Structure 1
């Protein structure tokens, strides 16, 4: 097997996966999996542009990723770099594209929300077949920094929709006052954020039947952080989090706690990444509202997501995003 690499650059984080893939068994063997909070989408919802300091943080991470790829002998031909919500929205996304190409020798693909959703579905559902109590159709929920994707499917994607209610975007929209994040948010701010999420869920439901699922699968940092809190982990443990299950009531308890907490109280949670302290309340509220809207009793948490889907699209394009005809 030859190593391949996938990079997912979102609104809040940039992530790298270097892995060997075995198409015969459908298994990925991780060689390096890492994440950095770079907040590429800083201010994009307000200005429509990528901030210079956000680009600098992202390019610094790309240089570290380039070194890791060289260490494992990964070539540009075996690499795919996918960029999502923030770079889709930015007027100056050419500056981002040019900088990435200069560092990594590959051109980032600024993909549509629908393709982002389909790649997430591919990565998240590949290992679910045969697990007790987990049956299709699956509704995959990917809560990002700028947007949230909804994908319904079984062995192929039936419907997908991306809506602009990521945890960073919601925080900047509703929890900022005089340039600073309200700590903790006021009831009025929470109500406004909740109404924004409800409107986005109604938009998503126009294309994706949110109640037509047997299993809700939750992805990305907001969901995995909530799982780590629910498990009361002393340190972040991907193996313990992967395929754990969170009940709706437990999500409600944690969300209420996070939205009532101060910055210092959130930062003191052992598994809290410093880059998520200010945005975790918004991400938790999105998950809670989805659980309530779908009527699901629980969410299955997956550590495998769009990053795994991107890598499979490099190694075996036929395993890439598929949609029902």
Structure 2
């Protein structure tokens, strides 16, 4: 009998509004997981364009990623580069796409919000280690958009909303710390988006299990767990009290950027925009009936990676 074929090594890249993430591995084994804070979506909500300095930061990160991909011998046909909210909205997205292709040898896929949601759900739910009650609501808060996905083994209803930590921070929370009026305007924007999501069939209140993924959720979890430094192993699969989450979010929104940066678990590139992202999480949780939520370190990046692995097999 022939020996089973070893899984092919793949590379997945998730390019969002605030971060660019890389995963390399022969799944389920992961050899490389990297993140760079590049703030690609800097000012996009206002200007409609990717800023020159944001493009420079992104291309510098991709040069590093290209070296890692080459080191692991991943050919272009086993690389998938998915770009999300910032590049969906930018009028000069082709400039970015051309730079990505020159650096990595692949064209970025600017994925629609629905596919972004499905990939986020797959990455987060596939990672769950305990059996959970359905329906499951996955919350993926990005820099430019937030995905809500309700499902069981697969998504049943999804919504990609144009609210995210960078977008809403730049739009509303301009003081340091933000004023009560700024917070109220931000919350009103979030509530409008959530009303629209529910009108599209994502019944937030019906969720029996809530899973939070991506940087805002994992950072809030780190704070609720009282970690002195960011520890992915401690955060992944942790169960966080909803009441503790509300209390932590109230405190982090009221804090100055300097006070947030002083927290050992806070990435310095997230400290200024965590207020808006945390408010999104807060308002979603207030519409649920759960008393706790689960944190997943796996997210859309893992969903992208599995989509390549399944294509390669």
TM-score (norm 2): 0.95
Compared CA separation, residues 318 and 137, structure 1 to 2 (3 A) = farther
- Contact 2:173–2:276 under 8 Å retained in 1: no
Structure-2 separation of matches of 1:62 and 1:172: 25
List structure 1 segments (4+ residues) > 2 angstroms apart after TM superposition.
none
RMSD: 1.3
Q: 1:9 aligns with which of 15, 19, 24?
A: 15
1:206 aligns with 2:204: no
Structure-1 separation of matches of 2:296 and 2:108: 25
Residue in 1 aligned with 2:308?
A: 314
Residue in 1 aligned with 2:78?
A: 78
Residue in 1 aligned with 2:50?
A: 50
- Contact 2:8–2:309 under 8 Å retained in 1: no
Residue in 2 aligned with 1:88?
A: 88
Residue in 2 aligned with 1:116?
A: 116
Residues 204-228 of structure 1: per-residue CA shift (max 9 Å, x gap): 1112111221111101100001111
Residues 247-286 of structure 1: per-residue CA shift (max 9 Å, x gap): 1111111111111111211110001101001011111111
Structure-1 separation of matches of 2:194 and 2:271: 24
Unaligned runs of 5+ in 2: 1-6
Residues 110-157 of structure 1: per-residue CA shift (max 9 Å, x gap): 00000000000011101336x15x222211110000000011111121
Residue in 1 aligned with 2:281?
A: 287
Aligned length: 306
Residues 62-115 of structure 1: per-residue CA shift (max 9 Å, x gap): 000000111111111111000000000000100010000000000000000000
Q: 1:138 aligns with which of 136, 139, 146?
A: 136
Unaligned runs of 5+ in 1: 22-27, 177-181, 320-325
Residue in 2 aligned with 1:152?
A: 150
TM-score (norm 1): 0.92
1:213-228 residue pairs with structure 2 within 5 A?
A: 213-228=207-222
- Contact 1:291–1:297 under 8 Å retained in 2: no
- Cα deviation for residue 194 of structure 1 reads 0.6
- Cα deviation for residue 318 of structure 1 reads 10
